[in-house]
A and B are shown apart, each in its own frame.
Chain A
Amino acid sequence: MEKIAVLVEHRQDEVRDITFEMLGKAHQLVGEGGEVIALFLGDPSQKGLLDAITPHAHRVIAYLDTNLKNFEPLRYQAAFSQIFENVDCQLILMGQTAFGMDLAPAVAAKWEIPFTSDVVDIEASDGDLMAIRQMYSGKVNAKVSLKAGDKRLLTVRAGAFPAEDIPTVSGEVQEITGAVEGDFSARTFVEYLEAAVGDVDITQADIIVSVGRGIKDADNIPIAEELANALGGVVACSRPVADKKWLPKERQVGTSGKTVKPKVYIALGISGAFQHQAGMKNAGTIIAVNKDPKAPIFGIAHYGIVDDLFKVVPALTEKVKGIKG
């Protein structure tokens, strides 16, 4: 593969991490002499966002139009109609994100571009490519081939590739400024809404920091909250913690509480009783912090730290805050 295009994902005037993850992978795949192209669709006022991208792409195609301020699939598709011809590449990458999932399958169907989704790795073999994707809740991996075509399209799982240490190249920006045309009234963006604080629904959370009796006292709950905030997650608990009213009953995980399935579940001072496990065993990644190496929670956790949570949590919170700036 010589040329790979990456669709830049940005929201509320911030370029999202997935963009850099895809750029990094694209560099690796094209190798020396290849070309990494960034596709940027946005409002002219968002041009400043390009500063973060240009150093990591050989070419940036920036379509700037007031119609493209927010991600809207109909407008994005209309813009694609105008730029696809100019983009000479064998592979297009988008994120398997709320943005990419709302766009990529339609683009693939509309232009009949061979496509597969939610890819966790991409292998180049004999000039062709194989996509690795996960099936059956991550228990099995599948190697998937794509039909022949001038272009192919993959959506990439967030976090599958590192966002750091991406090669720096001198990018050239190619601006397109014609108006994006069409009737977009069939679907209209209205606004962004922050999830209301207070009514936290742990069953919908992607990241859960869960505390058990090891937290010792209601006064210590804030250390878990601080970690959860830093991670962008929510706090949940085992039943004894809810019983003691240190956290509301709605936060209880387990057979007599809620069943949760987050991407990441961090169990702090939870022994891992059967009734608790039943509510969280299907979490994507389970990380347990417990000072007892024999605690049953380590039997189902993917990663464990055998140590005092009152030492681990502050250290971790600080590190997380550090990388978030």
Chain B
Amino acid sequence: MDIIVCIKRVPETAEADLVIDGTKKAIETDDLVYSINEWDNYAVEAAIQLKEAEGGTITVISVGPEENNEVLRRALAMGADEAIRLTDPAFEGSDAYAMAKVLAAAIKDMPHDLILTGVQADDDGFGATGVALAQMLGLPYAALVTDIKKEGDTLTVHRELEGGLEEVDTLKLPALLTIQTGINEPRYVSIMGIRRVAKKEIAAKGAADLGLSENDVGLNGSMSQIEELFFPPVGEGAEIIEGTMDEKAETLVKILKERGGIA
């Protein structure tokens, strides 16, 4: 089985104090630590487990600058066979839709039985690239996958629904799945392992190589555009809820509803 996994390099922002830059459309990234998008790490592991069971090849693809080779190398050390990086100044400003076009242009000419993406990216979290990509490639797909079983050219997958419910579907290969965290336990990638693949060539392809024009990608090829970034209002430390016990409970219920705390 030939598997393609799309992986993104994202900044880790949970611990960081973010600063919006001068353009107001992006954040300052100099001090941020980057790594593979968490969902994509699970997707790579899922691919490796399928390969271990079924044989075949794994190719990882990432769209982005040279630094993205870090996540590609990490995936190679983890067990992927080939890595490709798609890069072009014209790709800048792409939204999930344009990003899917870039990926589709690269993947359409590559042998593929199964394509895996993450459910969403840690940073901008559109949660849309995978499903849009499937549509462009004309493949059956399933989003939010938490279990994969293969029998012949049929996959049986579980999708994670709300409130602890799962949906079981069957899919005919070739297909695309967006992988949910928790589907497996991604293996650790040691520093020695990464050093071992440090010399492996990673091919880079640009818009022209993919037959894409400037109008297909970037802001021109996107459906949406960031106009402005701003900070949501936040308070320091906990907001203490006061009142009678009944009022406290009432306020809590309201907060729970707003924050998705009631399934």
A101-131 CB contacts (< 8 Å) to partner B: 101-106, 108-110, 113-118, 130-131
Asked whether A146 lies within 8 Å of B224 as measured between CB atoms, the reply is yes
Contacting pair A142 B256 (CB below 8 A): no
- On whether the beta carbons of A231 and B262 are closer than 8 Å, the reply is yes
**Would A304 and B239 count as touching, CB distance under 8 A?**
yes
> 5 tightest CB-CB pairs across the interface, nearest first?
A232-B263, A264-B261, A304-B238, A186-B140, A105-B131
In the bound complex, what is the Cα–Cα distance between A206 and B182 (angstroms)? 13
Contacting residue for B223 out of A11, A143, A147, CB 8 A = A147
B229 touches A139 (CB 8 A): no
Q: Is the CB of B259 within 8 A of A304?
A: no
**Interface-facing stretch out of A39-47, A54-62, A240-248, A295-303:** A295-303
> Is B18 at the interface (CB under 8 A from chain A)?
yes
Q: Is A74 an interface residue (CB 8 A)?
A: yes
A207 to B48, CA, bound (A): 31
Stretch of A81-89, A215-223, A306-314 that contacts chain B: A306-314
Interface assignment of A145: CB less than 8 Å from any CB of chain B:
yes
From B52-60, B92-100, B204-212, give the one contacting chain A. Answer: B92-100
Q: Does B167 contact A (CB under 8 A)?
A: yes
Q: A276-325: which residues lie under 8 A (CB-CB) from chain B?
A: 281-282, 284-288, 293, 298-307, 311-312, 315-316, 318-320, 323-324
Q: Which residues of B contact A285 (CB under 8 A)?
A: 255, 259, 261
Answer whether A98 and B252 are a contact pair too, CB < 8 Å, given A207-B261, A302-B239: no
Give how many B residues have a beta carbon under 8 Å from the other chain's beta carbons: 81
CB of B125 to closest CB in A, whole Å? 6
Q: Given the known inter-chain contacts A74-B140, A137-B14, please indicate yes or no for A301 contacting B132, CB distance below 8 A.
A: no
Bound together, the chains give a CA A187 to CA B173 distance in angstroms of 10
Within A249-298, the residues touching B (CB, 8 Å) are: 263-264, 266, 281-282, 284-288, 293, 298
- A234, chain B: closest CB distance, angstroms: 8
**Which A residue's beta carbon lies closest to that of B156?**
A190
Contacts of A103 in B (CB 8 A): 131
Q: How far is the CA of A146 from the CA of B125 in the complex (A)?
A: 17
Stretch of B70-78, B158-166, B192-200 lying at the A interface: B158-166
In the assembled complex, the CB of B229 is this many whole angstroms from the nearest CB of chain A, namely: 5
- Does B67 reach chain A (CB closer than 8 Å)? no
Q: Are B13 and A137 in contact (CB under 8 A)?
A: yes
Which of A113, A135, A147 has its CB near the most chain B CB atoms (within 10 A)? A135
* B18 with A140: CB separation less than 8 A: yes
Known: A137-B14, A142-B226, A232-B164. A102 touches B142 (CB 8 A): yes
Q: With the chains together, A323 CA to B250 CA distance in Å?
A: 11
CA distance A281 to B238 in the complex (A): 13
Contact between A233 and B227, CB atoms less than 8 A apart: no
Q: B105 near A: Cβ within 8 Å? A: no
Q: Are A102 and B96 in contact (CB under 8 A)?
A: no
Query: For the complex, is A28 an interface residue (Cβ under 8 Å from B)?
Result: no
Rounded to whole angstroms, the CA-CA distance of A297 and B40 in the bound complex is 32
B225 at the interface (CB under 8 A from A): yes
Collect the chain A residues with CB atoms within 8 Å of residue B227's CB.
Answer: 130, 142-145
Q: What CA separation (Å) do A106 and B100 show in the bound complex?
A: 11
Q: Do the beta carbons of B252 and A316 come within 8 Å of each other? A: yes
Whether B224 contacts A319 by the Cβ 8 Å rule is no
Known: A187-B141, A189-B169. A204 touches B182 (CB 8 A): yes
Tell me which residues across on chain B come within 8 A of A281, comparing CB atoms: 14
Task: Confirm or deny: B202 has a beta carbon within 8 angstroms of a beta carbon on chain A.
Answer: no
Check: B22 CB closer than 8 A to any chain A CB. Answer: no
Q: Are B162 and A98 in contact (CB under 8 A)?
A: yes
CB distance from B166 to the nearest CB of A (A): 4
Are the CB atoms of B240 and A306 closer together than 8 Å? yes
- Give chain B nearest CB distance to A147 CB in angstroms: 5
With a cutoff of 8 Å between Cβ atoms, the chain A residues found around residue B237 in the complex are 298-301
